[in-house]
Chain A
Amino acid sequence: MLYKDIIKNVGQPILIRIRDAIVSREFQNIDFIKKNARLSLLWDVGFLIEISNGFVKYSSEYNGRLWDHPVVWPLAQAEKIYKLEPKKKSKQTMKTDSNLPEVVYKN
């Protein structure tokens, strides 16, 4: 499938940097909790469904009719949203984080 078909049939692929709390479900001491129970930055990818009314909505899986595990996240908790496109189309690539693995689309 061509990139323009993906946009038309599924939606704009995005890379999103969001804030969420990261904690543990195992027994931990108070030092661990003080250090880790806080806002952490996460990197997510997905197809953009909608940005409106203070929320960004996206999902990384679409089966032609339904979204699998869609995310509805407060915009205030989203730090950056980048548009994703095929490497060969990209004229001026944004610098993100060198530790991030490659982002791919698989039909």
Chain B
Amino acid sequence: MVHKDTAKKADQPILIKLMDAVTITDSCSMDYVTKHAQLETLWLVGFLIEINKEFIKFSSEHTSSGIWKYPVIWPKEHVEKVYKLVPVSNAKKPVELPKELPRIVHVTWGDGQSATANIATKTVIDRNVAKQIDTVGFLLINDSKRLVLTEQINLRTGNFKTIHVIYPKYSRNMLQLVPNGEIDITKDQTFS
């Protein structure tokens, strides 16, 4: 699948720099709270779903059935920058990013299906293909055994969140993406 098909089907891939509060759900001391209960800058990737007056909506996983997995709906005022991602070969003037950020890739792959609803026997029997998924992520591991992508990075702590593990034999396509210009978040935009 070429990039223009992805952008049409799964929407525009984006890189987002946003602010989130990092906290902990265990008991901890006042010193810990003073140090950690603060706004952190995070880097995320996903396919843009919508930008409206107050929110930006995106998700890093899109299935062939049109369902988004773990979509994020974030207040726009906590978003610092949104960059449009394009294949390396299409980028005329890539945006400079912190060198610590790993490469960004788009992978199309197949996976088993676990339904989240009540389903009739005939419908289950009729399912004879793997679920096709489009995932965009920062590439952490790429070897003969696995592709490991992450959706969120905290550069201060060097930690990653929301990890996708894809087995090479189920991946059909991997395309490297780079930021190529900013998306104006002051304007309403709806994709799909």
Size of the A side of the interface (Cβ < 8 Å), in residues, is 34
Contact string, B107-151, partner A, CB cutoff 8 A, digits 1/0? 000001111111111001101101000000000110001101010
A16-37 contacts to B, CB under 8 A, are 20-21, 23-30, 33-34, 37
Q: Report whether over half of chain A's contact residues are helix, strand or loop; otherwise say mixed.
A: strand
Q: Are B128 and A53 in contact (CB under 8 A)?
A: yes
Q: Does B167 contact A (CB under 8 A)?
A: yes
> Which of these, B112, B141, B154, contacts A34 with CB under 8 Å?
B141
Contacts of B115 in A (CB 8 A): 67, 69-72
Closest to B149 in A: A37
Whether A106 is near chain B, meaning CB under 8 Å from some CB there, is no
Q: Could you tell me which residues of chain A, from 60 to 88, have a CB within 8 Å of some CB in chain B?
A: 63, 65-74, 77
Is B43 engaged at the interface, CB distance under 8 Å to the other chain? no
Taking a contact as CB atoms under 8 Å apart, the answer to whether A28 and B159 are in contact is yes
Q: Nearest Cβ distance between residue B109 and chain A, in whole angstroms?
A: 11
Contact residue range for chain B?
Answer: 35 or more
Expressed in whole angstroms, the minimum distance between the Cβ of A8 and any Cβ of chain B is: 14
Are A37 and B159 interface neighbours, CB within 8 A? no
Which 3 pairs across A and B sit closest by C-beta, in order of nearness? A21-B165, A66-B118, A73-B112
User: At the interface, is chain B mostly helix, strand, loop or mixed?
Assistant: strand
A74 to B116, CA, bound (A): 18
- Closest chain-A Cβ to B146's Cβ sits at a distance in Å of 6
Measured CB to CB, the residues of A under 8 A from B are 20-21, 23-30, 33-34, 37-39, 49-50, 52-53, 55, 57, 59, 63, 65-74, 77
What would be 15 A-B contacts, judged by CB atoms less than 8 Å apart?
Answer: A20-B112, A21-B165, A23-B164, A25-B163, A28-B159, A28-B161, A29-B158, A33-B163, A49-B124, A59-B124, A70-B119, A71-B115, A73-B112, A74-B112, A74-B130
